[in-house]
């Protein structure tokens, strides 16, 4: 039998969602948790029965029993903490995005190459039941030839932790870039993005980013395909939406306009509503139940993103399973470091393009398989 992976979770807001999943996964030992605030660490540790607790990430990285870290800290820490973990010999799963600069992405890809360790960006949408459903349709040939893809992520971030205020919309674009690239395992070659509208003055100064909405076209490498993605974070009236549309020559899948409605499949010009099935059967039985409900109960409440994001499409156990089995079977997870860099750099460069009036910007070579 493969060795169980000793996993540590860093950041216990959204991160706490994964504790019971790893606790029950047959290939994992939920080994340690890390959180700077002592009281929160105690609260979560007691609620989930985790003995080994760290307030210092640096101390945790010295622990020889920890094989892998799953990072769920604020966006600005993802890259430095991933880099530190790889340098300490730990495998890394990191919530989205991989980084906030192209240079940080490059360093992570380089370190993974040098160390032979595994890196996976934990993009929820590419493990959601909707994505798995469309992927199944695509792989069975039911969609015919893919002609175009479109995704959006619109969310009002007022009231979220301060680092979100004024964030360039495309700096958190992986929930739209991920699915459009992942369906055909494509790579982005270049992007062109327009900014539109203006957010509140006090928000603009935080990142010097003025736009309410950013829309980006992505040209796929070695392919006739392109995709369009839309992001907004502030001052735009719209119900929460993480949507994904795929236009095929035979069938097209379109996301519902309003949450809790059914999706639409167009066969030729004929539309029909479809109930997207669950994909828990792809998982070990011990963690199948987690596709249906949030697990963060330390505070008697679920994480806000889980409620607002409609349970992230049941993706959490699929993500944990993909990471653990990649480590046990010594194979690349999806998305691996290079693929994560390609997805993340689309967003970073899209914002740069928007700031330059839509200039075309090419993805760097290190994000592409050459
Ligand atoms: N669908 C998704 O994929 C999804 C959904 C929600 C959040 N996220 C990501 O998860 C991350 C965390 O989100 P959140 O809402 O829980 O954020 P948050 O700011 O509420 O919580 C982050 C936690 O990390 C802890 N932390 C910060 N620095 C630390 C350090 N150096 N060492 C140990 N702990 C540290 C904080 O104390 C806090 O508990 C964000 O980066 C966000 O991008 C992804």
Tokens of 313: 């499409």
CA distance 255 to 245: 6
- Tell if the pTM clears 0.85, that is, is over it: yes
Minimum-distance ligand 1 atom for the alpha carbon of 37? 37
Average pLDDT estimate for 162-191: 97
Q: What is the CA radius of gyration of the chain?
A: 20
| Structural contact between residues 135 and 145, judged by C-beta atoms closer than 8 angstroms | no
CA separation for the pair 289, 240 (Å, rounded):
25
- For the cut 90, the answer to whether the pLDDT of residue 85 exceeds it is yes
In our burial notation (b when 16+ CB lie closer than 10 A, e otherwise), range 18-38 reads bbbbbbbbebbbbbbbbbeee
Q: Work out whether strand 361-362 and strand 241-248 pair parallel, antiparallel, or are unpaired.
A: unpaired
- Is 5 in contact with 302 (CB distance < 8 Å)? no
At the topology level, CATH places domain 5-122 in Rossmann fold (3.40.50)
298: pLDDT strictly greater than 50: no
Strand 263-267 vs strand 251-254: parallel, antiparallel, or unpaired?
Answer: antiparallel
Q: How far is the CA of 147 from the centre of ligand 1 (A)?
A: 37
Which residues contact residue 162 at a Cβ distance below 8 angstroms, ignoring those fewer than 6 apart? Answer: none
Sheet containing 146-154, strands listed edge to edge, beginning at the edge strand earlier in sequence: 270-274, 263-267, 251-254, 241-248, 146-154, 226-232, 213-220, 188-196, 361-362
pLDDT value at position 297?
47
* Beta carbon of 124 within 6 Å of any ligand 1 atom: yes
With both helix axes pointing from N to C terminus, report the angle between 174-182 and 337-355 in degrees, rounded to the nearest 10. 120
pLDDT tens digits, residue range 327-344?
A: 999 999 999 999 999 999
In the chain, which residues fall in CATH 3.40.50.720? 5-122
> Is 125-316+345-367 in CATH node 3.30.360.10?
yes
Contacts 24+ apart (CB under 8 A), 258-261: 259/310, 260/310
Confidence of residue 292 (pLDDT cuts 50, 70, 90): confident
Peptide bond into 187 cis (omega under 30): no
Residue 65 CA neighbour count, 13 Å, CB half: 8
Each residue of 310-331: pLDDT tens digit? 578 999 999 999 999 999 999 9
Residue nearest to atom 28 of ligand 1 (CA): 73
Q: Between vectors from CA 86 to CA 66 and to CA 174, what angle results, nearest 5°?
A: 105
**Looking at the chain, which residues constitute the CATH 3.30.360.10 domain(s)?**
125-316+345-367
Cis peptide before 196 (omega within 30 of 0): no
DSSP tag of 282:
G
C-alpha 285/C-alpha 307 separation (Å) is: 24
Helices (H), the chain: 19-24, 38-48, 57-61, 78-87, 102-115, 129-139, 174-182, 201-207, 304-308, 316-328, 337-355
Q: What is the pLDDT of residue 370?
A: 80
Tell me the average pLDDT across 258-270: 95
Report the chain's mean pLDDT, rounded to a whole number: 94
* 13 CB near ligand 1 (under 6 Å): yes
Q: How far apart are CA 366 and CA 339, in angstroms?
A: 10
Place of tokens 């307030």: 55
Token readout for 270 is 């004929």
Residue 269 DSSP one-character state: T
**Dist. CA 193 → ligand 1 center (Å):** 28
The alpha helices in 116-224, defined as continuous H runs, are 129-139, 174-182, 201-207
Number of residues assigned to the chain: 370
Tell me the average pLDDT across 243-262: 96
366 CB within 6 A, ligand 1: no
Q: Is 128 in the pocket of ligand 1 (CB under 6 A)?
A: no
Distance 84 CA to ligand 1 centre (A): 17
Q: Which residues neighbour 299 within 8 Å (Cβ) at sequence distance 6 or greater?
A: 43
Q: Which residue has the tokens 């010594």?
A: 330
CA distance linking residue 142 with residue 268, whole number of Å: 12
What is the band of 2 on the pLDDT scale with cuts at 50, 70, 90? confident
Shortest-distance Cα residue to atom 31 of ligand 1: 57
Neighbouring residues of 201: CB distance < 8 A, sequence distance ≥ 6: none
């Amino acid at each position: 039998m493969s060795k169980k992976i000793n996993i540590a979770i860093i950041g216990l807001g959204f991160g706490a969602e994964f504790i019971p999943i790893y606790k029950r996964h047959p290939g994992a030992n939920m080994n340690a948790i890390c959180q700077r605030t002592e009281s929160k660490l105690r609260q979560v540790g007691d609620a989930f029965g985790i003995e080994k607790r760290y307030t210092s990430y640096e101390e945790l990285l010295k622990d020889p029993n920890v094989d892998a870290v799953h990072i769920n800290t604020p966006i600005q820490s993802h890259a430095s903490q991933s880099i530190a973990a790889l340098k300490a010999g730990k495998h890394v799963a990191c919530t989205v995005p991989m980084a906030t600069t192209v240079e940080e992405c490059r360093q992570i890809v380089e370190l993974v190459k040098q160390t032979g360790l595994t890196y996976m960006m934990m993009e929820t949408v590419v493990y959601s039941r909707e994505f798995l459903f469309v992927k199944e349709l695509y792989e069975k040939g039911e969609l015919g030839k893919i002609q175009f893809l479109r995704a959006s992520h619109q969310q009002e971030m007022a009231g979220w932790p301060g680092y979100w205020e004024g964030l360039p919309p495309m700096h958190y674009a992986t929930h739209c870039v991920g699915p459009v690239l992942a369906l055909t395992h494509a790579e982005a070659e270049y992007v062109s993005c327009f900014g539109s509208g203006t957010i509140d003055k006090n928000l603009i100064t935080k990142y010097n980013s003025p736009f309410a909405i950013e829309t980006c076209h992505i040209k796929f490498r070695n392919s006739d395909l392109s995709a369009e993605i839309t992001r907004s974070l502030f001052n735009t009236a719209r119900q929460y939406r993480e949507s994904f549309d795929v236009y095929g020559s035979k069938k097209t899948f379109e996301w519902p306009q309003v949450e809790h409605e059914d999706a639409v499949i167009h066969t030729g010009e004929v539309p029909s509503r479809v109930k997207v099935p669950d994909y828990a059967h792809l998982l070990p039985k011990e963690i199948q139940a987690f596709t249906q409900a949030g697990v963060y109960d330390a505070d008697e409440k679920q994480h806000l993103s889980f409620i607002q994001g409609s349970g992230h499409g049941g993706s959490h156990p699929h993500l944990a399973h993909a990471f653990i089995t990649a480590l046990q079977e010594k194979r690349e997870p999806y998305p691996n470091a290079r693929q994560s860099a390609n997805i993340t750099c689309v967003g970073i460069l899209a914002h740069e393009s928007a700031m330059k009036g839509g200039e075309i910007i090419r993805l760097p070579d290190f994000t592409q398989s050459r």
